[in-house]
Amino acid sequence: MAKSDGCDYFRRTNLFWIITVTFSMGYFTCTVFVPEKIPFENLGPLGTLSRYLVDNHADLMYKGWWAMWAVHVLEAVVAMRVCSQKGIDNAATRCLWFVQTVLFGFASLGLLLKYDPERPKQH
């Protein structure tokens, strides 16, 4: 296999973060848009807190939901800049970093920030 020059560097986010972020964002989305589908009474302290927020601060939660996505998109834009700075210029690879960072936020961006094109990691 040919040695890579780093222009196609991509690492998938850890499975722990994929599951955690997917569950958290999914739960938040459900509490904002379909709270009647969530069995709050079966979720212990998380259910109690969620029920309180849904009942008393639904507008704040809605704005928070949009803010959450805005932060993830901002992180993805930062990921594109970091790709440029680190010499990752393969369009498909940059697209992978963008999408992964939109979905998983800093769990993805952190991998990109750790990448040192001067000293590639040996596997």
The parts of the chain modelled with pLDDT lower than 70 are 1-5, 119-123
Q: Provide the domain limits for residue 26.
A: 15-114
Assess if residue 7 is contained within a domain: no
Terminal-to-terminal C-alpha distance of the chain: 14
Is residue 5 assigned to a domain? no
Whether 63 maps to a domain, the answer reads yes
Burial 82-114 (b: 16+ CB within 10 A, else e): bbeebebebeebbebbbebbbbbbbbbbebbee
Residue 7's pLDDT is what? 78
pLDDT at 118: 80
What total number of domains does the chain contain?
1
Residue pointed to by tokens 């040996």 = 122
d(CA 26, CA 4): 37
pLDDT at 117: 85
Residue 37 lies in a domain: yes
pLDDT score recorded for residue 5: 62
Instruction: Output the pLDDT for position 60.
Output: 97
